[in-house]
Structure 1
């Protein structure tokens, strides 16, 4: 008999885990059974705080709801060995992630891991192979991958009358850290998050580019750290370029030192498309995008640039509701677990994103020269 509830274990009590706690609650097919931290008191505090806002509930097949309380665990390995855990969400720093993904696979647990995926592509490939050999799913936590917006946006991009052929992709993801960011935030620490802004923000820019390009890898890339942190070892501000084998090009900018911006522009030969919130949708009940076919009219002394824009959207709440992208992610993953299905695209696209990131780091270390992608 197929189980109806996926029992989650959380490894790590990072802030982003709080959002996924609520996503599990809203998914309708999952419950958080345990939370592990190296400090059991921190795990207790995490459970306490999250339960106040979003109490964990188990619903039986008859629709009866029962309030439950996850167990706080002071050891990651102890959580992995529990029999009441089907899947784990791993929110430990990137430098520690490989160890615990491999341990989860060995324990037969399905894995949803935070991004960036790994320190190096070789590590990412080892993680993917270990999970496949163990027969468990592996996915990175890119929430917009699961938005209802992307399939509909694809219709716009494939409309020959509205968009035409894709020629250029440009993305930008940034926020401005406070005065204590470099000293206090792990994203500026090489021993914990060695990829800095490139891993934390650029990961989304790379991923959106790969999605728009049909999951194809670029042929070559060039990257440059504009600002470096932690004695020059961590990108704090980064720009990158990608070239594909059919003439498509893409560029992105990510930064810990620029105002909040999450924009994407996709340019075709007949029109272009813009998104103002491609990572985290603006608050509301609709995820939107705009298509543009502006026209320049010249007649002797008359020069008129006509604006022709259309608004598009799908019904989808920005966060914390049953149709939100992070809830869709959790629900989709749990469905795979509960029905003993595998999603090879999830681990494949995470590995491809890591390959691009690695190539960009190599280019950055070599005076931004164009480098070809390596495979693993």
Structure 2
């Protein structure tokens, strides 16, 4: 049993699945055994290209395969909850892409009822760098966290992309638009910095929409108890940034390549292909002196898959992962409510 690997199936051939399947191949305790698409020809072509042994012409067929332990769900946000539930009821553990959709609470509960682990696809949370910084914060190396500033932005490649040609800019595919897709990262980084304490209230202070009424850029404020606060921005109207600054009363920590982990190099391939990075962060002291801290580089996807697979193999589910997912979704939903209410302050 010690050498057993978790057998994975993939529901869908979305672009992000190409990056994830590569990480699954490299993970020590995982084995990719099948992929499903609504079209068998597409599934087979993808399976051949990505070195996956079995292709199915429907998601239900893959879920009916009792030899599969866990599934990865890169299906569109609007359809994600249904497939989370179906997968859980078929006895599968579920790794689902983010953002999450309204009603995900029920989907996560179905996972729990059926003895399945749920985890969302926030890859950076699993890096060596993230674990080291978590320990620094817990140890009080920067004192009490009081402020967080975060962002994930990039410039839309062309007008067609901006005006709904991409899933992020078309609310029929991504209900929260770029806020859903890109905003998840600064919001998750904010909550992570505050050890997943929920803010008391939030406000979307800026919203920009395209011609089909989809959020393409936004920014906001989160207020926490005791005068602590966070600000963020996200979208496809500005130069590329992927960063978080976590500030305490005794120091600060800065990450300038949060999502891809590729540094300020302009190497965007890290977002869509196998990549080993996240090798440093900045530690600042109370007087303003910064020092660069080196960390063992890693591939975020490999680390996520190995963590998930280790949970499955142990038979001991970890509640922190669905709890983190729900915290982020709850805050995202409140900020989206604010955006749709002309920037009203929304209490949590």
How far is 1:98 from its partner?
Answer: 0.7
Residue in 1 aligned with 2:297?
316
Is there any run of 5+ residues in structure 2 with no aligned partner, and where?
A: 264-275
How far is 1:267 from its partner?
Answer: 1.7
Q: Which moved more, 1:240-249 or 1:267-276?
A: 267-276
Is there any run of 5+ residues in structure 1 with no aligned partner, and where?
A: 52-68, 296-306, 318-323
Residue in 2 aligned with 1:343?
318
| 127 and 116 in structure 1: CA distance in 2 versus 1, 3 angstrom threshold | same
Matched, 1:96 2:88: no
Who wins on radius of gyration, i.e. which is larger? 1
Confirm or deny: 8 A CA contact 2:250 2:286 kept in the other structure: no
Matched, 1:169 2:156: no
Q: How far apart, in 1, do the equivalents of 2:335 and 2:43 lie?
A: 36
Q: How far apart, in 1, do the equivalents of 2:112 and 2:334 lie?
A: 25
Residue in 1 aligned with 2:284?
292
> Please, which of 213, 218, 222 is the counterpart of residue 203 of structure 2?
222
SS in 2 for 1:338: helix
| Stretches (4+) displaced over 4 A | 283-286
| 148 and 82 in structure 1: CA distance in 2 versus 1, 3 angstrom threshold | same
| 110 and 231 in structure 1: CA distance in 2 versus 1, 3 angstrom threshold | same
Matched, 1:109 2:101: no
The count of aligned residue pairs is 334
Residue in 2 aligned with 1:265?
245
> Please, which of 315, 334, 348 is the counterpart of residue 359 of structure 1?
334
> What is the 5 A alignment of 1:140-151?
140-151=120-131
Residue in 2 aligned with 1:43?
43
Matched, 1:208 2:189: yes
Q: Map Cα deviations across residues 122-178 of structure 1 (whole Å, 9 max, x no partner).
A: x11101110000111111010111111122213443565x52221110001011121
TM-score, with structure 1 as normaliser: 0.84
Residue in 2 aligned with 1:71?
54
Q: How far apart, in 1, do the equivalents of 2:145 and 2:4 lie?
A: 42
Q: What is the Cα-based RMSD across aligned positions, in Å?
A: 1.8
| 84 and 230 in structure 1: CA distance in 2 versus 1, 3 angstrom threshold | farther
How far is 1:224 from its partner?
Answer: 4.1
TM-score, with structure 2 as normaliser: 0.91
Q: Map Cα deviations across residues 22-68 of structure 1 (whole Å, 9 max, x no partner).
A: 111111111111111112222122222223xxxxxxxxxxxxxxxxx
Confirm or deny: 8 A CA contact 2:34 2:56 kept in the other structure: yes
